[in-house]
Amino acid sequence: MAKKHNLGIATDWTAVEQSVLEEVLSAFASESNIIWYAKIAMQLQSEMEWDAALQCRRMSVRFTIFIFLPQILIILLLAKSYL
């Protein structure tokens, strides 16, 4: 029977799963996203390509927020002081 997956948000990954995901991403950085997801799913029997794609997306959003949050806060504080 095929594994059914949730089409919603990625579930919490264990530290081991996250480590494997990061290793695959760094090892195959020059490959396309589809290859990343397939390789991650092959390494982790508990996750599917869709799950890997959602987790990569979630990591990307977290990274973007982390990088730009200080700048966003400064802009909001400056805007508030002009109001």
Asked if residue 7 is part of any domain, the answer here is: no
Q: Is residue 3 part of a domain?
A: no
Which position has the higher pLDDT, 20 or 81? 20
In a domain, 36, yes or no: yes
Q: How far apart are CA 26 and CA 49, in angstroms?
A: 17
Note whether residue 46 is domain-resident: yes
Predicted pLDDT of residue 40: 85
18-46 burial string, b = 16+ CB within 10 Å, else e?
eebbeebbeeeeeeeeeebbbbbbeebee
- Per-residue confidence (pLDDT) for residue 11, from 0 to 100: 63
For 12-48, write each residue's pLDDT tens digit. 778 888 888 888 888 888 888 888 888 888 888 878 8
Write the single-letter amino acid at 9: I
Task: Band the pLDDT of 83: cuts 50, 70, 90.
Answer: low
pLDDT tens by residue, 43-69: 888 788 888 888 888 877 666 666 677
- Residue range of the domain that includes 76: 15-82
Q: How many domains does the chain have?
A: 1
Model confidence, pTM: 0.53
